[in-house]
Amino acid sequence: MENYADLIQKQKSFFSQGKTKDVSFRMEALGKLRTVIKQHEQELMDALKADLNKSEFDAYLTEIGILLEEIRFTMKHLKKWAKPRKVKSTIAQVGSKSFIYPEPYGIALIIAPWNYPFQLAIAPLIGAIAAGNCAILKPSELTPQTSALLSKIISENFPEEYICVIEGGVETSTALLNEKVDYIFFTGSVPVGKIIMEAASKNLTPVTLELGGKSPCIVHKDANLKLAAKRIAWGKYINAGQTCVAPDYIYAHNSIKEEFLKEVKQAIQELYGGDPIAAGNFTRIVSERHFNRLTRFLSNGTTVHGGRHDLSSLIIEPTVLNNVTWKDEVMEDEIFGPILPVLEYEDLSNMIAEVIKRPKPLALYIFSESEAVQNQILSSISFGGGCINDTVYHLSSPYLPFGGVGESGIGAYHGKGSFDVFSHEKSILKQTTKFDLPFRYPTTKDALKKVKMFIK
């Protein structure tokens, strides 16, 4: 197992020089990152096509364009975010001024997944740079073309003592986790997230864990079914369902379930055509192991749409399963593939009770025109974030911090949230020397009585 102690020391030495704390240095780095992403746009699309069969449209929308916008937004606001901000002082602190100074942690280790291999490596890097950290990126070995290109882009444009990419498999991640870094940012599965947190605990290293879970999509009886079906199909099947916030399953009201199923089938037809496997532009499953895991689920319930799959291309067409129950294998863990189970409910409260029996999901989606129904669900179920009458789209807003709760994750990022994640807020009280309040000292006459005057 390789030892990365020299690299860590090199970054620590560079960080100690203070260059990364200069806001103009951060702005220059972000501007350079934006430029090189644009310069390598076609290469990135080609790599994503080679690794996951992503179309150019999906690659740009979900991997490139979203990052360019994130960098633009960050650069627009960074100077304000980085400034010490004044906060109120209490009456007991007369003469003092209070400030919060955002400061970088130091060396940030970013471990990225394979499902959005470029976006989910660079998005946290934007926050790490903005906050003034050095960074080590560990991309996924399951998307080798994208990981190699990521390494090339970074190594050609940034010194390794500032930002570097380390390619490799599980043993590489393990070796990096054995080193003492200042912050760990991990995106991936719940089981691996537990391993990351255990490793971080040995040095009490702070972590952000962006995990997953079974994200419900609730379709109430008053929903706009045609629009709901289209938005659900898009959110579920983009990237072949290999999205941490994809609707994992549907809970449809029994009075509209059959009509909803018809609309979903129609939406899939419109979005992906009659034979996505033959068309050759549907994102493939990342590996044969994941492919085999997913195809086992096809025996659950009743297949009402799709179900065809091709091992040679690792493609499973968009599939809808009806007559599914919580006892089926497909409902045990996060699906992470293009298979959509549909359950039904009659009573809203009973359905909510079933959802909250399970671990808190990363996302939840509600399709209903009723504010009362929306509010009942929002106030009853804990989850990371989500949408009302849409799916997945909350990820695209830099004003909405993105993250999980409970088993679906720790911490949130995007926009200012990314700057905050990689910043420690240092609290400072600046005290006057023009006078000194005597009541704070025990030698003052009636000191306790005077202290109590300030504490009600």
> Which pLDDT belongs to residue 225?
98
* Together in a domain, 91 and 205: yes
Instruction: Name the DSSP class of 143.
Output: S
* Together in a domain, 249 and 207: no
- Residue 319 domain-assigned (yes or no): yes
Buried b vs exposed e over 290-310: b needs ≥16 C-beta within 10 Å? bbebbbebbebbebbbbbebe
- Residue 55 domain-assigned (yes or no): yes
**Collapsing DSSP states into helix, strand and coil, what is residue 132?**
coil
Instruction: Enter the tokens of residue 385.
Output: 């974030």
Tell me the residue type at 264. V
> Which pLDDT belongs to residue 456?
65
> Could you confirm whether 217 is annotated as catalytic?
no
- Residue 433 domain-assigned (yes or no): no
CA distance 383 to 385: 6
φ/ψ (deg, to 5) at 40: -105, 20
> Which pLDDT belongs to residue 450?
67
From 210, 317, 334, 407, active-site residue? 210
- Residue 141 domain-assigned (yes or no): yes
Instruction: Name the DSSP class of 239.
Output: G
> Which pLDDT belongs to residue 223?
98
- Residue 446 domain-assigned (yes or no): no
* Together in a domain, 88 and 230: no
- Residue 454 domain-assigned (yes or no): no
* Structural domain for 273, as ranges: 216-403
Strands 249-253 and 216-219: parallel
* Together in a domain, 191 and 72: yes
* Together in a domain, 121 and 93: yes
From 134, 164, 217, 244, active-site residue? 244
φ/ψ (deg, to 5) at 441: -100, 140
User: Are 136 and 110 within 8 A, CB to CB?
Assistant: yes
* Together in a domain, 221 and 202: no
- Residue 380 domain-assigned (yes or no): yes
- Residue 119 domain-assigned (yes or no): yes
| Count of the separate structural domains present in the chain | 2
* Together in a domain, 398 and 256: yes
> Which pLDDT belongs to residue 376?
98
**Nearest one of 40, 213, 49, 42 to 122, comparing CA atoms:** 40
> Could you confirm whether 43 is annotated as catalytic?
no
> Which pLDDT belongs to residue 423?
98
Buried b vs exposed e over 391-403: b needs ≥16 C-beta within 10 Å? bbebbeebeebbb
User: Are 229 and 325 within 8 A, CB to CB?
Assistant: no
**Collapsing DSSP states into helix, strand and coil, what is residue 66?**
helix
Residues linked to residue 385 through DSSP beta bridges, in sequence order: 363
**Collapsing DSSP states into helix, strand and coil, what is residue 240?**
helix
- Sheet hosting strand 423-430, strand order edge to edge: 85-87, 97-104, 423-430
Buried b vs exposed e over 209-234: b needs ≥16 C-beta within 10 Å? bbbbbbbbbbbbbebebeebbbbbbb
> Which pLDDT belongs to residue 454?
67
CA distance 91 to 186: 43
CATH number at residue 422: 3.40.605.10
CATH number at residue 256: 3.40.309.10
Q: How many CB atoms lie within 10 A of CB 449?
A: 10
Q: Splitting the chain (456 residues) into consecutive groups of 10 residues, what average pLDDT does each group show? A: 87 98 98 98 98 96 97 98 94 88 98 98 98 98 98 97 97 95 97 96 97 97 98 98 97 98 97 91 96 97 97 97 97 97 97 97 98 98 98 95 96 97 97 86 74 69
Phi-psi group of 328: left, alpha or beta (phi > 0 → left; psi -120 to 50 → alpha; rest → beta): beta
Instruction: Name the DSSP class of 360.
Output: P
